[in-house]
Structure formats: C-alpha cells, structure tokens
Chain A
C-alpha cells in the first residue's frame, strides 16, 4: 500500500517553456504521488497556468520531460488523458447548449459513459442537477465553475488537475468544492493537482505542495514540513502593556517582538519558545489572558516570494 502511495503520478523534469523572449517556465521539476492533494502555488505570472497547459497538452514545452502515470506525455498523450480530468483556468462551455448536452458532447469525445444516469450523477455531484436543461449562457461564473468540475470528473479520471477551482464561488460553494476534493482523494483514491491563488485553501486541503516563482521551483515538500520551516506569529493578550514593554526591553525576547497593540504584543516565535515566554511573563507578574499562534501558508508564501524578489 505504501509502495502504491509512493508511486509517481506526475513527474516533471527540466521543464521549460519560452514564448519568444519570455521564459514562462524555467527548468521546472516537480513530483506528484498517488493519492496526493498537491498544491501548486505561485504569484501571478509565476508560470502556473503555463505549466498546467503543458500538463494537459494545450501547449508544447520548449524542452524538458513530462511523465504522467510513468508514461511520456508526448508519446502516450491519448492513453494518459483518458485517465486525466482537468479544469484549465476558467471553464468555458458552449453557451448555446444545456449543461447536460455540454457534458454529453465532452463525454462522447472522451469515449466514456454518457448515459442519462451517469450525466445526472455528475450534475448531482456538483449541485447542478436542477439546471441540467438550462443553457450554459444563463449560468453564473460559480455555476460554470461547478460544471467545469463536473466535466473533469465525467470520465472518472485517476488524476484531476484543477486550476483555481473555487474562483467565483461563494463561501458555501468554496467549502463544498473543498470537501469534494478531500472526498475524491480520500474516498475515491484520486490524485489531485490543485493550483490556487487562495493560499489558505491549499493549506486546508493539500498534503504536499510546490511554490514556484518566475517559472522555477522555490520550494517543494509536505505542507506540514513547509509550515514547520517558518516562525509563528503569536499574539499575547496581556493586562499591563507598559510594564511588559519595560520588562521585555532588557531581555532576549525584545528581538522577537513584531509590534505592540493596546493590550497585545505580537511576537515572531518558534513553537518551542511559546511556553517559556508565557512562563516568564507570568512569573514577572504580567497577566496573560490569551495566546493566539498564527502560522499560515500565506505568510510563508509571501515570505518566500519577498525573499525571491
């Protein structure tokens, strides 16, 4: 089982894409393993969409190799795409056709089951069963997004590539998609390649991730490892701010202070430093009412990108 888990689903090596003078993706390498929910992060223009377009054969790499299911994408394209579902950027459909007909046409092209039962099942999964016969041009962006997810799942793929799948969705819709992604990975053993600009979203669902910038890898690893690699922002809520300021001024903790509020001090700490600091403050007679640690991928992401810049 563990061996299966470590099986590479996507293996990208030295991937480069140049558009005339612009290098959109530069010597990129990444690995996605079976069962991963793999977060693909980067600021605008980092090369995320270009990479996804290369993974889905929409554009041809200038150099480098892409292997999916251990097969070269260039040579085994159709065989591979039979097991891949994708949303690339915003999902666009034939607006003059119904949601049902759009799925039927795309399903027929894929050579998969396009029975009424299957299509309705997919529409139900993405919450569009009541709008099956409505023309897509009457759909909101969020509904198109759901239909996009539906077409990606239609042929029951093993690998699902999702490019910003929650864009345009309301908070409830975002939550549903998040739950669906987790369900697909955990219950259906699908591998998910998830690109998103909502970093908190990746943090919530992904187990592994890569951050890219200017077309190259900045960092790759498990979400937990990456989170652990950075300091926490910890807010101490205290009752005597001036006393605390004076007290801390003479200590090693002074260097750890980020900012002061009326009743709060924000520290940049390592996890192990929280308890000693709390102990120190309490022992010196400062009342600590709450300790709120905050560490998000977003912080880490911004930190890395700033460092790159």
Chain B
C-alpha cells in the first residue's frame, strides 16, 4: 500500500497542474499581505468603525494573526477550485491517458488501487492547506509581527496573544478536513467518467450551488441547510468563539468525516464494478 501511495504521489507531483494550487496560494497570499501592509490601517478602521466610539484600540492590531484570519476566511471559498483540479484527475486522468489498462492488469486489487489514490489525494489536500498556513500565518507573522487578534462576529472578541496560535492550528486542521470533503467529492465524480474535465467542473458546480443554498436565508433553504456539507465547511470559525462550542465542532467534524467516508465508499463501489473500456 505504501508503494502504491508513493507512486501515486509521485505521479501527482510530476504533473504541472498540481502546482497551480501551490502557485496560486504563493502569489495570492503575498498580494493580499502587500495590500494589507499598505492599506491595512484603513481596513482595520473600517472593520472597527462601529466600535470606535465605545472602545479605545491600542497595540498592534494589524498583526500576522489578523491577516491570517482574514486570508483563511477568504481563501477557504476558493481553495476548493484548486483541490478539484487534482481530485477530478485522480481516477479519470488514468482513464483519459489509457493507463488504467496497465494498472488494473497488475496483481493489485482495485480496492488497494483506489485507496492509494484517495490517500494520495488527501495528502495533496493537506499539503495545500499546510502551504496556506505557512504562507499566510508564517509569512504574515514575519511581515506584520504578533499581537492580539480581534474577531468581529455578533460580538467583538479579542484574543490574547498567547491564546491564538493553538486556535490557528485547529483552524487549519478543520480547513484541511473541509477541503478533504471537496477532494472526496471530486474523487467520486472522477470514478464515474473517463475525462478529468467533467469531475473538476461538476465538483465546483456542486460546491457553488450548495454554498449559494447555504447563504440564502429563506425557510426552504434553511430547512435543507443541515443536509448540505458546505454548511459545515466553515467549522474552523467556531474555534475563534469564546467560549468554544466543542459539541458543535465535534458534530460538524463527524458530519464532514462521514461525507469523506461516504464519498470514498461510493467511489470504491463504482470502481470495483466498473468495466474498463478506455
């Protein structure tokens, strides 16, 4: 199994499309950071405008933590595109290239082949989120320094400097879990067809539709919201609550994990019965 995963990772990282995600984050995040460096003060002022009359803000509020928080919120909507690029190609790419024939005539079960590809996809996804963490938080802290984190939700929460880092670690872990659902969905679609474009587009279409449904605040959509996995993808934000609702976090994590297992299970079921005609 280790050999299979290793060879799938090798294949993933020898394709240029794999680096689109890393390059996009590597360009986009520094651009945001640069913009924040020059115009962050206005952004902070805008963010806190309604509290300015009641509070006096002192210290380095425009710090690496705030920038990383802002970036995480913005990019978790866009990263699925980058994940889908690779996930949609994992199985369908082999069909398009005709290499299924070489793989499936080897003395390895389809279960192992599919599992190895899935694990390789999960590793890619987690590495992409790790890269996001390094660039947004690591680089952010170097450029902007440390300070207290101001989070504005229904209430304004200010986290002490020594109470932030662990929250970010969990936040990135939750983001990785959410992105893994996207990967699993792309992988499922990838098992259905012989061309990678279809799964990539379909994954994104599903995410866009579900995200729109989750955002519309009318009764019908409120009713179906609990059944849309996109609704649970912003779980990372819960870690920046005070107090933290751990039950909600655990529940959301279970829902996301259930989706990952479910999508993988269906993909496996389909692939095991699939006639390889390409």
Contact = CB atoms under 8 A, between A and B. Distances in A.
Interface of A: 19, 53, 56-60, 77-82, 84, 86, 88-97, 105-106, 108-111, 151
List the 9 closest pairs (A to B, CB-CB), nearest first. A92-B98, A59-B275, A81-B107, A58-B276, A82-B107, A78-B107, A56-B105, A88-B101, A109-B106
B42 interface: no
A82 B101 CA distance: 15
Contacts of A108: 3, 6-7
A77 B109 contact: yes
A127 B276 CA distance: 30
Interface residues of B, number: 25
Given A77-B109, A109-B106, 8 more contacts: A19-B275, A56-B101, A56-B104, A57-B105, A79-B107, A81-B106, A92-B99, A93-B97
A110 B104 contact: no
Contact of A109 (B14, B98, B103, B276): B103
B23 interface: no
Interface in B1-59: 3-4, 6-7, 10-11, 14-15
B155 interface: no
B165 interface: no
Given A79-B107, A109-B106, A92 B97 contact: yes
Given A59-B277, A97-B14, A111 B107 contact: yes
A259 B266 CA distance: 65
A84 B105 contact: yes
A106 B3 contact: no
B7 A105 contact: yes
Given A59-B276, A109-B108, A89 B3 contact: no
Given A58-B101, A79-B107, A81-B107, A105 B277 contact: no
A109 B112 CA distance: 10
A80 B100 CA distance: 18
Interface in B113-145: none
A91 B14 contact: no
Contact of A96 (B14, B102, B109): B14
A97 B97 CA distance: 13
A108 B105 CA distance: 13
A203 B250 CA distance: 69
Nearest to B100: A58
A173 B109 CA distance: 34
A58 B102 contact: no
B273 interface: yes
11 contacts: A58-B105, A58-B275, A84-B105, A89-B101, A91-B101, A91-B102, A92-B97, A96-B15, A105-B11, A111-B107, A151-B102
A86 B104 CA distance: 11
A68 to B, nearest CB: 12
Contacts of A80: 107
Interface string B235-278: 00000000000000000000000000000000000000101110
